Each structure stands twice: as structure tokens, then as C-alpha cells.
Structure 1
Amino acid sequence: MTETIALLVGGLVALLLGGELLVRGAVRLAEKAGVTPLIVGLVIVGFGTSTPELMTSVEAALAGSPSIAWGNIVGSNIVNTLVILGLAALITPVVLRGGSLLRDTGVCLAATGLLVALGWSGWHGAWIGVAMLAALIAYIARCYRDERVVVPEAVHTAAYDRQQALEMTDRQLHRTEGGWWRAVALLIVGLAMLMAGARFLVTGAIDVATIAGLSETIIGLTIVAIGTSLPELVTSVVAARRGEGEIAFGNVVGSNIYNILGIGGATMLLSPAGVPPDLFPLDLGVALATAFIILVVAIAWRRFGRLAGALLVTAYAAYVATLLAMPSPVAV
């Protein structure tokens, strides 16, 4: 058991540090190559901040544990919406001004609906992964076009808010000291740590499932999902503490979109197994319900107050309690 805990903790630490180094190296490399700041933010930072979830899900799928891979994706979105957005709202009321809210929350709901459809139908295949990645690229292209339009008091896209949230917490993101070799070194070391961290975390998660007699799906939905969502938790909480509740909200919505279309697409492409049926209807249903709730609240009320934050966090506690109370097959 001690070795299992060491694998879990070591894997999470390596993932978090590796993701940070990878993003720093990639950003510096792109800026030295003359890539525009907007592309850096929407593409490099957007994908880079999702690398812990990406590497973990891909590693789990390739290791023959798709339940951990897809549980991580679905669980991360549930954690983002109920825990991270809930904590941000508890810190400071999240007031939304409109603008791109309908598009971003609508894309998030549509992507979640697609995931539910895949879980219900059992459809799978590399072509579905390609289609999901293409949908993410189309979304980013639309965000790029919208961000280039200079409009007074414009509301930024969720993808842009991800960059802003990260910049609030990582003051070293745009450091220019050192040559190309330092940026490349950060990139390589970060990638190596991510690969090792994903391997350790998945191995530890499988061991926990075996020892505790829980399904790999539950482990993916809880321990793995919470661990890989820590970067979003930190960035959203920092944004909320600085009174930037709208950026915290955009960070959550943007993360959910990248998780489903980007990580889900890559997972389906590299290991084209279907979404595990035991995620349907409870877990996928909760993910869909939370995506629908944030769309309705964002459009109708445009505000998440402290009461709403408390309800979101309480809902997550009830969800986890329901998971643990359900009969679960012993992991093998």
C-alpha cells in the first residue's frame, strides 16, 4: 500500500511540474519563433494546460484501462464545474457580462452531449477521435477570429480566459532570459516528467482499484480526475481571489471543452475503444446536467453567487457519496 501511495503522489507531482515546465518551454519557444501572442494563448497555453489530463488518459487507454482514461475525462469536467467553479463563486461572486457566453457554454453543452451519445450508443473508432479533434480546431479558429475583432468592452472567449488565468499564477511564463536551448530544455524535461508522471499515476490508480475493491471507473472519476484538475483549481482560485470571477468561469468552461474534444479525441484516436458503458447514465448524466446548468445560469442570470457556489460544492459531495454507495465490481 505504501508503494501504491508513493506512485500516486509521485505521479501527480511529476504531472503538475511537468505540465508547468512544458507550457513554459513551449510558450518561450513559440515567442522566440515569432508566433503571435494570440496563437500562443489559444493553442499552446490551451493545449499545454490540459497535458496532465491528456497524458494520463492516453497512458491509461494504452495500458488497457479505458475506464480510468474516460473516467478521468468525465470526472475532470464534473470537478471543474461543481468544485472549481463552486469554490471560485464562494471566494467572490462570479458576474458574467454576456458576449461570447452563449457560444462557449453552448459548445461545452454540445461536446458533453456528444460524449453522452458515445457512451449510450457504444460507437467508437479512430475516425470519431479525428472528428472530435477537428471540432476543437474549428472552435479555436472561431475564438481566434473573435479575439482579433477589437470591440469596446468586448468579452473574451473561454479559450482566451484560460491563458489569462494561467498568467495570473505563473509570473515566469513569459521570461525571455536564456537562448533557444533553455526553452527546448524546459520542453523536453517537461514532456519527460509528464510521461513518467502519467505512468506512475495510472499504475497507482490500478493498484488502488485492486486493493480497495473499487472499479477503475470510480478511481478515474475521483482520485485521478481531482489530481489532474489541480492546475485548473489553482488558476481559477487565484483569478477569483483577484476579483476576476469571469476569467475563473471562462477557465472552467474552456477546460471542459478542451477535455472532451481534445483529450477525448486524442484518446479515441490512439486507443479507439468505446466510452465505458458503466459511465452511463449516472456519471455522463451528471456531466450533461452540470453543462446545462451553467449554460442556463450564465444566460438567464449571468451570476454565480456564494449560495450557488455552496450548492455546487455540496452537489459534488453528494455525487461522490452516491458513487461510493453504489455496488462496484471488484477490480481485476
Structure 2
Amino acid sequence: MIVASLFLIAGIVLLPVGSNILVSGAVALSERLGISPLVVALTVVAFGTSLPELVVCVDAALDGVPGIAIGNVVGSNIANILLIMGAAALLAPIACHQPRAFLRDSLIMIGATGLFIAAALSGVIPRWQGGGMLGLLVLFVLYSYWRESAGKDAADAHLAEVEEFEGLKNRSWIVIIGAIALGLVGVAAGANLLVDGAVVIASELGVPEEVIGLTMVALGTSLPELAVAVTAAMKGQPDVVVGNVVGSNIFNILAILGATALVIPVEIPAQVLRFDIWAMAAVSILMVPVMLSGRRMGRAEGILFLAAYAGYTALQFFGVDRVLGAVSA
């Protein structure tokens, strides 16, 4: 148990560190090649910050523990809204400067969530559905680029995301390539340690693997998004916080789940079908009126979101079926 806990902690540390180094190197390489900052934001930064979830999910699915893979996607999306938005709002109120753009992107997020639920109800997500999700992701990225490069929205939030990873842009080619290689190694090693530790801890605690995926693993893979959101909140960049959360949730479903299912069909655990996908849908929908009512999310809402996340996590370890059964009785 001690060794497994050390593996889990090491994985949680390596994943965000490796991801940050990798994205910094990839951003510097893209800028050296003359790629548009907007393209870099929509591709390199978006994929790079979601890489921990991808590697963990694929690794878990190949290791025969689909509960961790699905739990990671669902738990990350719940954590992105309740934990990351809550923590950012606690530091500084999050204003919605572009309500029409937020509404459009949040509706895409809710649509992707609905697509996930519809696919999950069969009990397994096959390869063809995974490929379809990746196809929708490509369309989403192309649409986002067209929309913002055509001046239909301000792209300031995306460009601000790029600025967070520009620390290596003036370094030598060797440093940039080395950072990319080091980041890839860090993410791969962190994912292996995290999954291995999570499987042992689940067995030792006698809890389903999906519970560990929904909580510990999801929290660990959400740390890059949390770091970006906290930094943006402290810098007074609320659009970066909101865009990071909404974009990450879309990527988690279309890219992470899609790529994982394309590699190997993913079985959906019974508890996730009964409760967690509906909890994910509920918080995704809840986010919209909270942000659009008064066009800001204040500290009071931040505290409520954090309390809801703490309650959700506690519910997982007490046992969803046990607690809900006691409440209904």
C-alpha cells in the first residue's frame, strides 16, 4: 500500500510537470516554424494540456482496467467545473466578457456530453464510435480556427493561453527538442506510475477501480488545467479560465475518449452508467446559468462549487449505491 501510494504520488507529480515541459517545448518549436499563435493555441496547447488524460486512459484500457479510463474522463470533467472553476472564482470573481461565445462553446460541450452518454448507454464504446468522436474533434478545431481567425470572436483568451507556455521560445534548438523529449518521457512514466498505483490502492481499499479513476486519477490529470486556471485568475484573465475548462471538457470526450476507444473498445462500469455520467451532465448544464446570470461567478458560487466537489468525492468513497439507497429509504 505504501509503495502503491508513492507510485500514485509520483505519477501525479510527473504528469503535470511533464505536460508543462512538453507543451512549452512544443509551443517554442511551433513559433520557430512560424505557425500562427492561434493555431498553436487550438492544437499544441489544447492537445498538450490534455495529454495526461490521454496517456492515462489508453494505458488503463490496455491494462484491462477500463474503470480507471472512463472514471478519468468523467471525473476530470466534473473536477474541471466544480474544482477548477470553484478554486479560480475563490481567488478572483470570473466575469463572462463574451456571453455569446461562452454560450455557443458551452452548448458544444453539453452536446459532446450528450453524445458520450448516448454512446455509453450501450455499455461499451466501440472503435467506430471512437473514430467518429475524433472526426467531430477535427471539425470542432477547424470551426474554432475559422470562427476566431475570421474575427467572429476575440481570440485574446487563446493567445493568453499560449503566453503561459512561452518560456522556451528564445532558447536553442537543442533545449527545445530536449524539452519535448523530456516532457514525453515524464508524461509516459507518470501515467504508468499513476495507473499502477491506482489499481493496487483500489484493490487494497476494496473500492471499485472506477472510484479511484473518478477521484484520485482524475484529480491528478486535471492539475495542468488547475495550474493554468489559477494563474489566469490571479492575472485577471477570466476568459482564459472559462475557455480552458470548456475546451478541456470537449477535448476529454472527443479526443481522449475517442482515441482510447479507437485503440481498444472501452467498457462502461455499471456505477458510471447509473450515476456519474448524469452527475457530469448536471454540472455541465449548471455551469451555463451560473456564468450567464449577472455574467460573473463570484466567490460565493466558488465556495458552493468546491463544497459540491468535496461532497461528490466523499460520496464516491462512502459508496454511491449505499448512500443513495439510505437516502431513498
1:122 equivalent in alignment to 2:123: yes
1:14 equivalent in alignment to 2:14: yes
The answer for the alignment partner of 2:172 in structure 1 is: 178
Cα-to-partner distance string for 1:15-45 (whole Å, 9 max, x where unaligned): 1221112112222222222222211111011
Cα-to-partner distance string for 1:149-169 (whole Å, 9 max, x where unaligned): 236xx444xxx746624634x
1:195 equivalent in alignment to 2:188: yes
| CA distance in structure 1 between the partners assigned to 2:255 and 2:158 by the alignment | 15
Normalising to structure 2: TM-score of the pair?
0.92
Matches within 5 A, 1:149-298: 149-150=150-151, 154-156=153-155, 161=157, 164-165=160-161, 167-168=163-164, 170=165, 172=167, 174-179=168-173, 181-298=174-291
Deviation at 1:5, TM superposition (A): 1.6
| CA distance in structure 1 between the partners assigned to 2:227 and 2:273 by the alignment | 30
Task: Call closer, same or farther: CA 1:327–1:24 in 2, change over 3 Å.
Answer: closer
Q: Secondary structure at the match of 1:100?
A: helix
Q: Percent identity over the alignment?
A: 40
Q: Over aligned residues, Cα RMSD in angstroms?
A: 1.9
| CA distance in structure 1 between the partners assigned to 2:304 and 2:19 by the alignment | 31
Residue 126 of structure 1 contacts residue 269 of structure 1 at CA under 8 Å; is this kept in 2? yes
Residue 57 of structure 1 contacts residue 70 of structure 1 at CA under 8 Å; is this kept in 2? yes
Task: Call closer, same or farther: CA 1:267–1:293 in 2, change over 3 Å.
Answer: same
Residue 71 of structure 1 contacts residue 220 of structure 1 at CA under 8 Å; is this kept in 2? yes
| CA distance in structure 1 between the partners assigned to 2:283 and 2:126 by the alignment | 27
| CA distance in structure 2 between the partners assigned to 1:148 and 1:186 by the alignment | 29
- Given residue 164 of structure 1, which amino acid in structure 2 is its aligned partner? A
The answer for the alignment partner of 2:107 in structure 1 is: 106
Deviation at 1:80, TM superposition (A): 0.6
The answer for the alignment partner of 1:35 in structure 2 is: 35
Task: Call closer, same or farther: CA 1:248–1:292 in 2, change over 3 Å.
Answer: same
| CA distance in structure 2 between the partners assigned to 1:265 and 1:163 by the alignment | 27
Cα-to-partner distance string for 1:49-81 (whole Å, 9 max, x where unaligned): 111111111111111111001100100010110
Residue 24 of structure 2 contacts residue 166 of structure 2 at CA under 8 Å; is this kept in 1? no
Residue 124 of structure 2 contacts residue 265 of structure 2 at CA under 8 Å; is this kept in 1? no
The answer for the alignment partner of 1:57 in structure 2 is: 57
Task: Call closer, same or farther: CA 1:41–1:224 in 2, change over 3 Å.
Answer: same
Residue 46 of structure 1 contacts residue 162 of structure 1 at CA under 8 Å; is this kept in 2? no
| CA distance in structure 2 between the partners assigned to 1:273 and 1:171 by the alignment | 36
Deviation at 1:193, TM superposition (A): 1.7
Deviation at 1:280, TM superposition (A): 1.7
The answer for the alignment partner of 1:311 in structure 2 is: 304
> Can you give the 5+ residue segments of structure 2 that lack an aligned partner in the other structure?
323-329
Q: Secondary structure at the match of 1:89?
A: helix
| CA distance in structure 2 between the partners assigned to 1:248 and 1:166 by the alignment | 13
Cα-to-partner distance string for 1:106-152 (whole Å, 9 max, x where unaligned): 0110111112222222242111111111111111111101111236x
Count of aligned residue pairs for this structure pair = 321
The answer for the alignment partner of 2:327 in structure 1 is: none
Structure 1 stretch 294-303 or stretch 103-112: which is displaced more?
294-303
The answer for the alignment partner of 1:74 in structure 2 is: 74
Normalising to structure 1: TM-score of the pair?
0.91
| CA distance in structure 2 between the partners assigned to 1:192 and 1:12 by the alignment | 14
Deviation at 1:282, TM superposition (A): 1.4
Residue 65 of structure 1 contacts residue 216 of structure 1 at CA under 8 Å; is this kept in 2? yes
Deviation at 1:189, TM superposition (A): 1.9
